[in-house]
Amino acid sequence: MRLLGVNWDVTPLRKITAELAEQHELLRVTLSSIGDAVITTDAQGIVTWLNPIAERMTEWTHQEAEGQPLVQIFNIINEHTRLVTPNPVESCLEHGRIVGLANHTVLISRSGKEYGIADSAAPIKNKSNDILGVVLVFHDVTEQRRLSIEMSYRATHDELTGLVNRSEFEAQLSLSLDRASEFDKSHALMYIDLDRFKLVNDTCGHSAGDLLLQQVSKIMQKCVRTSDTFARIGGDEFGVILEDCSTEQAHRVARLICEHVHEYRFTHSDQQFRIGTSIGLVPLDKRWSTTAAAMQAADRSCYAAKEAGRNRVNLWVDTDKTIQIRQKDMQWATRLQQAVDHDDQFVLYAQRIEGLHSNTSGLHAEVLLRLKDTDGSLIPPNIFLRAAERFHLATLVDRWVLQRAINHLMRLSDISAIEQLCINLSGQSIGDRKFHDEVIDLLSYAGEDICRKICLEITETAAVTRIADSTVFIDNVRELGVQIALDDFGAGASSFGYLKVLKVDILKIDGQYITGMMDDRLDDAAVRCFVDVAKIMGLKTVAEFVKTPQILDRSKELGIDYAQGFLLHEPERLEVVVA
């Protein structure tokens, strides 16, 4: 019997086997440890392995999923359409390359829980380039997607009302104009401005104003279709794009908004306020080359609606005279901006205010503004100040006038002969807290002696409609020694109750009463009433627009303290009047 023995060295084989086992374990641990979900399949799309993240998200264990078709484990749909999304593994096996998921893909787990996911599928190939299977890698982007949606919403919507904001509105308007031009479609644009919102905001505070905006926006939103674009484009300004809507239909919608808002009452602390809407309506068709042109036309139409009496709709037409006036206002606005910037086109004039009784002394005058025309003539303020108000330049003009007037006083060697120099401020300036601070700084720098020579004139309408801002401003400047005159008193349907809040020094009685009191007994009675109230409250009175000796005499008889008008003094340059 013979025994044959064969021996061979298996050390290299065992070493290779151990290395392979080690690499396999390292790969398994790596795939199990990474933050992404991983699923592998064979060449037929049958699941061969899941890592723990994939198990958690699909709610299938490795043992349960192994041998199952991927489509049963990996259930994905489009989050918007809710339709099944094409399986990336099938596409990867078909084309033999890396394939990514479509946007907005949602994974539905075994229990129905949804995850927003992003993924890619890559083929597993051998050295011969044969496809052995696919590795699918995906991760949860639910939170990132939510944050992205939230950021996108915040970027395109108004935080207070939840409506579309101005930038998004203008983007949608651009698309509407493109469709109107390309497909000959007819749309409509509405520019809506709330009437009397400023009164609520100043009287009741900004929180009440915010609540009003929220309530009114909901009322208006019910009047338009969900397919229309409704936006808040400014403080109390709104815009609407009515898609595929004729001008007649749009006008009916605009009237409906006016009616519903007019019926609404805003209640605050047992006070009720009536709100209105002034609406500019513009057809959107091929005539508009830019969104800016369409918005400008709608803005002008809205302003025309306000000037026509408020709470109404103004339809834009090419021949609209009011719109032509607005275009002229734009030209004036450009000239005013240049005048402020270049400092040589405005000229300060002044008109004396004469005392009517022996107990008055010193120079009293009102500073007046003129604008140099191209031919050297002077343009009075009634021609250009409306444009200043319209295009929010009034505060710039006021700042220029106040600075130059104070500078002129500071350059004089002796101001003892000047009793009072009146300087007008616009309603916009009264409502501008930044302007308040600038005035306080300017007056403080000028000093007490100059401040006691200055009287700031505020129209009654501006003071009443901006009652909160007016009260703060008046109290602050009076502490510096500046006096306050309530200009055009009576023009705003005066309520003497406001005089208890507004600490003024002078009432300048509106010229319509002064010029009318010789022929209208009601005007005469109104002036007498104004004078009596002023005396009770210790206020001085000024009769404006005194044009005839008869009016002057009647003003004296009624006990008015001062008179102003062309009968008494033709305005002259400021340096001449105060010399």
Over residues 90-125, the pLDDT tens digits come to 888 888 888 887 778 999 999 999 999 888 888 988
Ranges of beta strands (E only) in 237-332 are: 237-242, 265-268, 271-274, 276-284, 313-315
Asked if residue 518 lies in contact with residue 554, where contact means CB atoms within 8 angstroms, the answer is yes
Q: What confidence tens digit (pLDDT) does each residue in 457-491 have? A: 998 777 777 777 888 899 999 999 999 999 988 87
3-state secondary structure 188-233: EEEEEEEECHHHHHHHHCHHHHHHHHHHHHHHHHCCCCCCCEEEEC
Distance from C-alpha of 155 to C-alpha of 159, rounded to nearest angstrom: 9
The per-residue pLDDT for 16 is 63
Please tell me the CATH code under which domain 21-146 is placed. Answer: 3.30.450.20
Find, among 376, 460, 391, the residue nearest to 424 by Cα: 460
Strands (E), 20-66: 37-42, 47-50
CA distance 173 to 369: 41
Residue length of the chain: 579
CB 364 within 8 A of CB 420: yes
Distance separating alpha carbons of residues 223 and 525, to the nearest angstrom: 47
Cα(74)–Cα(37) distance, rounded to whole angstroms?
Answer: 11
Residue 233: pLDDT above 70? yes
The DSSP output letter for 499 is G
Burial 495-531 (b: 16+ CB within 10 A, else e): eeebbeebebbbbbbbbbbbbbbeeeeebbebbeebb
Backbone torsions φ then ψ of 165, nearest 5 degrees: -90, 180
3-class DSSP state for residue 273? strand
Q: How far apart are CA 352 and CA 341, in angstroms?
A: 29
Question: Which stretches does DSSP call E strand in 34-174?
Answer: 37-42, 47-50, 75-78, 99-100, 105-108, 114-125, 131-140
**Please, which pLDDT band fits residue 343 given cuts at 50, 70 and 90?**
confident
344 vs 355: CA distance, rounded Å: 33
DSSP code per residue over 446-473: H-HHHHTTEEEEEEHHHHHHTHHHHHHH
β-bridge partners, 489: 509
Domain with CATH 3.20.20.450 in the chain: 332-577
Give the residue among 542, 466, 538 at the shortest CA–CA distance from 510. Answer: 542
Name the band, by pLDDT with cuts 50, 70 and 90, for residue 442: very high
Mean local confidence (pLDDT), 316-325: 61
pLDDT attached to residue 493: 46
SS3 content of the chain, % helix, strand, coil (to 5): 45, 25, 30
pLDDT at residue 225 is higher than 50: yes
User: At a CB cut-off of 8 Å and minimum separation 6, what does 269 contact?
Assistant: 204
Interval 539-575: pLDDT, tens: 999 999 999 999 999 999 999 999 999 999 999 999 9
Cβ contacts of residue 515 below 8 Å, gap of 6+?
A: 545, 547, 551
Q: What is the pLDDT of residues 130-175, one digit of tens each?
A: 888 999 999 898 888 888 888 888 888 998 999 999 989 999 999 9
| Short-list 535, 542, 538, 534, CA closest to 353 | 542
Which H/E stretch holds residue 512?
Answer: helix 511-516
Mean pLDDT across 2-14: 66
Q: Kindly report the CA angle at 162 between 161 and 166, in degrees rounded to 5? A: 85
Task: State the DSSP string of 378-415.
Answer: EE-HHHHHHHHHHTT-HHHHHHHHHHHHHHHHHH-S--
Mean pLDDT of 411-415: 92
Count of CB atoms situated within 10 Å of the CB of 268: 16
CB 567 within 8 A of CB 351: no
Residue 331 pLDDT grade (very low, low, confident, very high; cuts 50, 70, 90): confident
User: Which tokens go with 176?
Assistant: 């509407």
For domain 157-318, the CATH class is alpha beta
Q: What is the DSSP letter of 185?
A: -
Cα–Cα nearest to 308, from 319, 322, 318: 322
Query: What's the token pair of residue 216?
Result: 């009114």
376 pLDDT exceeds 90? no
User: Residue 19 is encoded by which pair of tokens?
Assistant: 């290395």
Tokens of 494: 């005066």
Residue 13 has what pLDDT? Answer: 64
Residues with Cβ within 8 Å of residue 257, at least 6 apart in sequence: 190, 192, 220, 223, 277, 279
CATH number for the segment(s) 332-577: 3.20.20.450
Work out the pLDDT band at 341, boundaries 50, 70, 90: confident
In this structure, of 188-197, 387-396, 436-445, 518-527, the range with the lowest mean pLDDT score is 387-396
Strand partners, 506: 485, 540
- β-partners of residue 76 are 107
Cβ neighbours of residue 8 under 8 Å, at least 6 residues apart? Answer: none
pLDDT at 128: 82
Which two three-digit tokens encode residue 117?
A: 């996911």
Which positions are catalytic?
A: 236
The ranges of the chain annotated as CATH 3.30.70.270 are: 157-318
d(Cα 141, Cα 121) in Å, to the nearest integer?
A: 17
Query: CA 458, CA 485: separation in Å to the nearest integer?
Result: 6
* DSSP string for 536-561: HHT-EEEE----SHHHHHHHHHTT-S
Q: With beta carbons less than 8 A apart as the criterion, state whether 138 and 117 touch.
A: yes
In the chain, ranges of CATH 3.30.450.20 domains: 21-146
